[in-house]
Amino acid sequence: MENSQETEKNFKENKKIVFSAIQPSGAMTLGNYLGAIKSWNQMQDKYRCIFALADLHTITVRQNPENFRKNTLELYALLLACGIDPDKNLFFIQSHVHTHTELAWILDCYTQFGELSRMTQFKDKSKKYADNINAGLFSYPALMAADILLYNTDLVPVGEDQKQHMELTRNIAQRFNGIYGDTFTLPEAFIPKTGAKVMSLQNPSAKMSKSDTTPNSCVLLMDSPDAIMKKFKKAVTDSDSQIKFKQNEKTGINNLINIYSTVCGKSLEETENEFDGKGYGTFKIAVAEAVIGTLRPIQAKFKEYISDPGYLQEKYTQGALAALDISSSTLKKVKEKIGFIL
């Protein structure tokens, strides 16, 4: 394998670096796919992409070990099925690359208590998991910053709810650079214009979530065609009948228009024109059929990948070795500037 400096040079050439990660905390939703994974696919040719399963972040909430391992392997296989190419990108399991935790501890020491205490997600999760408000839950934004800064990342695809973490990452990098000189690349947040936030089918004022206990609120990527059709037919809309996108109004039909437009690669206006004069019932069936058609090949490929654990191990091992090679260069630079004996 090339030395880390040469690998980093080759990885960086002529293209901006994008880093994105997802937690293996359970089944992937349609919202996960349209809000993040679909845009990952679209970036693979334009950018140098780094994708990770953020299993270290997942353990801020207690996990059943057997289910955790199963979820991680299945999500790796599902992301391959969704089109992530492990030979074109860096794609690895976070806990397999020790530089992430090493840099996270260092960045902890350059992150202020007040900054972490103001993080909205910490406040939200502290309420949700009041019996387990652990130190990792409090300081995980420093690990998130390490994930990003290790690879001289230029762009990070994020939803609106992650912008605060990106601001903190930039603050930490600027603080370190201000003390020790130019060390970290300052990353920019990239928010997809369409499909960045898919809402619940039953409560369109809330984000689609696999933890939602309301029946038919969430579409999972491995749902059967019948289940998907049923969920969309029961989707909440309103008393109007026009298929028109109105910001801050008609949240139910807005959500369905957003889903259809994103799945089909159309603008909101194109979707409105296509269904001009048609009713909600017709539109709901069309949305369901579009989603079913998109997920059918993904489900088939997933079954192929998950039945070949040897192939999966080969790919996530290769990804981890390549990620370690690149990230070690950044970590070495950081340690030298701080004054560690290497």
Strands 188-190 and 17-22: unpaired
Give the chain's end-to-end CA distance (angstroms, integer): 22
**What amino acid is encoded at 301 in this protein?**
K
Query: Which tokens in the block code for residue 217?
Result: 């609120």
The one catalytic residue among 125, 231, 250, 284 = 125
Residue 303 — left, alpha, or beta (φ > 0 → left; ψ -120 to 50 → alpha)?
alpha
- Percentage above 70 pLDDT, the chain: 94
Residue of 38, 207, 284, 315 marked catalytic = 207
CATH number at residue 92: 3.40.50.620
pLDDT higher than 80, residue 196: no
Are residues 246 and 254 in contact, defined by beta-carbon separation less than 8 angstroms? Answer: yes
Q: Does residue 110 form part of some domain? A: yes
Does residue 80 lie in a domain region?
A: yes
Is 169 a member of any domain?
A: yes
Say how many domains are in the chain.
1
In a domain, 227, yes or no: no
Q: Note whether residue 274 is domain-resident.
A: no
Q: Is the pLDDT of residue 6 over 60?
A: no
Residue 160 counted as domain residue: yes
d(CA 120, CA 113): 14
What does the pLDDT look like over 72-104, one tens digit per residue? 999 999 999 999 999 999 999 999 999 999 999
pLDDT of residue 132: 82
Domain of residue 187, residue span: 4-196+309-338
Residue of 12, 15, 197, 210 with catalytic role: 210
Q: Which of 225-239, 243-257, 290-304, 313-327 has the lowest mean pLDDT?
A: 243-257
d(CA 204, CA 245): 14
Tokens found for residue 164: 């605060």
pLDDT in tens, 136-169: 889 999 999 999 999 999 999 887 667 888 999 9
158 in any annotated domain = yes
Question: Could you confirm whether 337 is annotated as catalytic?
Answer: no
Active site residue 125: yes
Residues 6+ apart with CB under 8 A from 57: 21, 23, 94, 140, 143, 144
Q: Over the stretch 31-48, which tens digit does the pLDDT of each residue have?
A: 999 988 888 888 898 899
Instruction: Report the percentage of the chain scoring pLDDT > 90.
Output: 71
Place of tokens 């369409």: 194
Query: Quick check: is 257 in a domain?
Result: no
Q: Which of 320, 330, 287, 321 is nearest to 52 (CA)?
A: 320
pTM: 0.88
